[in-house]
Amino acid sequence: MALGHADRVAPLRRYCTGLLLPGERKSIEPMAARVEPGRVGAAHQSLHHLIAKADWSDAAVLAVVRAQVLPAIQERGPIQAWIVDDTGFPKKGTHSVGVARQYCGQLGKQENCQVAVSLSVANQHASLPVAWRLYLPKAWAEDAARRAKAGVPDELHFATKPQIALEQMRRAQADGIPPGTVLADAGYGVDTDFRDGITGLGLRYVVGIQSSASLWPPGQAPLPVKPHGGRGRPTTRVRRSAEHKPISAGELAASLPKGAWRRVTWRQGTHAPLASRFAAIRVRPAHRDYQAATPRAEEWCLTEWPVGEAEPTKSWLSTLPASTSRASLVRHAMLRWRIERDCQEMKQEIGLGHYEGRGWRGFHHHATLCIAAYGFLIAERAAIPPSAERRTPFIQAPDLPRTCRPRGAADPA
């Protein structure tokens, strides 16, 4: 049993039911009042123990969720992508595990928050997180007292977000999860070791890069290793010169002729087809290639330049085959929208960011059960034919007892 003990099954069902029920807050106390309005105190204690104290395996529960949900997703088509992402949860104070002043995507700026790295599998129909881990800033990872108080496992050491993502992919391969093209934004794509790590796993990628990324234009490469002159130690690295050097992705995009740009439609939007202008050329990444003995292999550089913009706005590198069409490159790059929409739904509807505890175990247990609840919704939606009308909610919230006043609620008087 994934939970390790039969007594945990009933609290888990109540917790997931609480996540699915309507309600402004999906923290433990208000959920206890919704799922068992006649015995709020006992329900609160039971749910709190399940999330914050009970020693069950998040990986084992997520494996059960995958086994139930992936077949429903694959009924609408094969897995196309593994999507790497991170999401922030604004937090006040300094005691919640992993909280620090760092970039928070939800707020779009540096702020006090927690950040979790996730790996999701996706096709055009749906996506499902298959791995989830809190990022520990270095100040946290090296603070033994705070680690102990928050219950951070001893075997966990500091790792960057790209390193965490690569480990999640290794685990996904070991678990036999259907492979897909790895998608990630520029926060990960700019990391050369991250891209090399994906290639080392035998996977293809389409990842964002910044306009400052250095590239060799089509048909160009670093100078070959300098011939040995017969004296001293022979050189073993490729070279650059003042006249022969790479340029930035932004400069390369600006230098492309007008004919390089084509309008591509990648999917139907809410009101109209989504389309933009794209250029796709074969380049060689150049970041620190002067430390290598051979040039890097050619890759695709895909760049978007929307109509009305003064300059190109986004670029991606991709190791999809050289025969890949421009339209296919665009569809892969834009499939990343799934994780953004699904993450928003998990936060707004399931309460992914509502956990109020401070410990490592509770943070991950809450996220795991949010994923389980979301997986249930995916499976239920998959059972509805595309042409059928949307069904009414299948879970109804019981009325709260008049005496119940969840923490933070306004005084009725």
% of the chain beyond a pLDDT of 90 = 74
List of residues 6+ apart from 357 with CB closer than 8 A: 51, 52, 96, 363, 366
pLDDT at res. 400: 44
Pair (37, 106) in one structural domain: yes
Tell me: do 279 and 364 sit in the same domain. no
**Is the residue at 1 inside a domain?**
no
Whether residue 17 sits in one domain with residue 105: yes
Q: Which residue's entry shows tokens 């997520």?
A: 62
Shared domain for 92 and 171, answered yes or no, is yes
- The reply to whether 212 and 102 lie within a common domain is no
396 in a structural domain? no
Q: If you ran DSSP here, which 8-state letter would residue 262 be given?
A: E
Q: Who contacts 316 (Cβ-Cβ below 8 Å, separation ≥6)? A: 189, 206, 207, 208, 209, 300, 301, 302, 303, 329, 333
Quote the pLDDT of residue 320: 98
Burial class of 312 by CB neighbour count within 10 A (0 to 12, 13 to 18, 19+): buried
Alpha-carbon distance of 327 to 266, in angstroms, equals 7
Is residue 127 located within the same domain as residue 262?
no
| Total structural domains within the chain | 2
Do β-strands 81-90 and 181-184 pair in parallel, antiparallel, or remain unpaired?
parallel
pLDDT band for position 396 (cuts 50, 70, 90): very low
Q: What is the average per-residue pLDDT within 275-285? A: 97
Distance between CA atoms of 146 and 97, rounded to whole angstroms?
8
| Domain boundaries, position 264 | 207-227+235-323
**Confidence at residue 385, expressed as pLDDT on a 0 to 100 scale:** 63
Taken in order 109, 113, 119, 120, is the CA torsion positive or negative?
A: negative
The pLDDT confidence band at residue 243, using thresholds 50, 70 and 90, is confident
278 with 332: CB under 8 angstroms? Answer: no
Residues 140 and 272 grouped into a single domain = no
Report if residue 408 sits inside a domain: no
| DSSP sequence for 45-76 | HHHHIIIII----HHHHHHHHHHHHHHHHHTT
Residue 192 forms part of a structural domain: no
Q: Quick one: 23 and 154 in the same domain?
A: yes
pLDDT, tens digit, 9 for 90 and up, residues 59-86: 999 999 999 999 999 998 999 999 999 9
Within its chain, how far is the Cα of 109 from the centroid? 18
The answer to whether residue 105 is domain-embedded is yes
Report d(CA 158, CA 100) in Å as an integer.
14
What residues have CB less than 8 Å from 72, skipping those under 6 apart?
Answer: 378, 379, 382, 383
404 within a domain of the structure (yes/no): no
Within-domain flag for 84 = yes
For residues 71 and 132, membership in a common domain is answered with yes
The H-assigned helical ranges of 151-239 are 161-174, 186-189, 192-200
Alpha-carbon distance values, 86 to 104, 163, 178, 237 (Å): 9, 13, 21, 36
Is the domain of 292 the same as that of 160? Answer: no
Q: Where are the alpha helices (DSSP H) in 112-245?
A: 138-141, 144-150, 161-174, 186-189, 192-200
The better pLDDT of the pair 293, 373 is held by: 373
Q: Average pLDDT of 145-156?
A: 95
The arithmetic mean of pLDDT across residues 79-105, rounded, is: 93
Taking the C-alpha atoms of residue 17 and residue 159, their distance in angstroms, rounded to an integer, is 34
Please report the pLDDT score of residue 390 as a whole number: 44
| Domain co-membership, 69 together with 32 | yes
Q: Does one domain contain both 68 and 151?
A: yes
For 148, counting Cβ atoms within 10 Å of its Cβ (0-12 exposed, 13-18 middle, 19+ buried), the class is exposed
Asked, for residue 193, whether it belongs to a domain, the answer is no
